[in-house]
Amino acid sequence: MTTEERVREAAVRLFAERGFHGTGIRDLAQAAGLSSATLYHYMGTKEDLLVGIMRTSLTELITAAEAIAGSTPDETDRLVSLVEMHVRAHAGKPRETAVVDGEMRALTGERRAEVVALRDRYEQIWQDAIADGVNAGKLHVAEPSVARLALLEMCSGVSRWYSPDGPLGLRDLTIQYGAMALGMLGAAR
């Protein structure tokens, strides 16, 4: 593991456990086995670290969602594939995704604008998928934007409760979420 990877892993863990504002630079340096000066040299400020974590996570989600959108013309299948991908990402990396979802409030100015733009780009793919399904007569929702927000909150929530050590396997989890998503979006059964 490189120094950068070690620092990032420590930051994800501490931000998830104690929150961004509750994590000091010294805590981060100690957890990564570095001095504060060395940490700064490698990684910049605490806010740089947070933005880096968010940029990586959101870019991975966007890449995966664009691949699905570009290769799945059937509107129902596309929605299910997006749900399965998002649930798998949030169940598999619960701390990263919880930090991305929960600490946007900690950013200000240009950094906030950059991360919000990435999040908006990701959510637009979902918005389009829902709107396409409605236009094709396959999904039935009162307002696509409300449905999108509700669906994403439902799917992101697995980062708060799912445990890979529990009785529910990841494959079964994603199948159940796909079915619930289609139901809430009024898909024909």
Task: List interacting residues with its own copies (CB under 8 A).
Answer: 17-23, 102, 105, 141-143, 146-147, 149-154, 156-158, 160-161, 168, 173, 175-177, 179-181, 183-186
Query: 23 or 76: whose CB is closer to its own copies?
Result: 23
Give me the least distance between CB of 186 and its own copies, in Å please: 6
End-to-end CA distance of the chain: 48
DSSP of 78-116 = HHHHHHHHHHHHHHHSHHHHHHHHH-GGG--HHHHHHHH
Rounded CA separation 49/15 (Å): 10
Give me the least distance between CB of 114 and its own copies, in Å please: 20
Query: 38 or 175: whose CB is closer to its own copies?
Result: 175
Give me the least distance between CB of 182 and its own copies, in Å please: 8
**CA nearest to 106, candidates 53, 161, 44:** 53
Query: 37 or 165: whose CB is closer to its own copies?
Result: 165
Give me the least distance between CB of 42 and its own copies, in Å please: 24
Rounded CA separation 21/105 (Å): 10
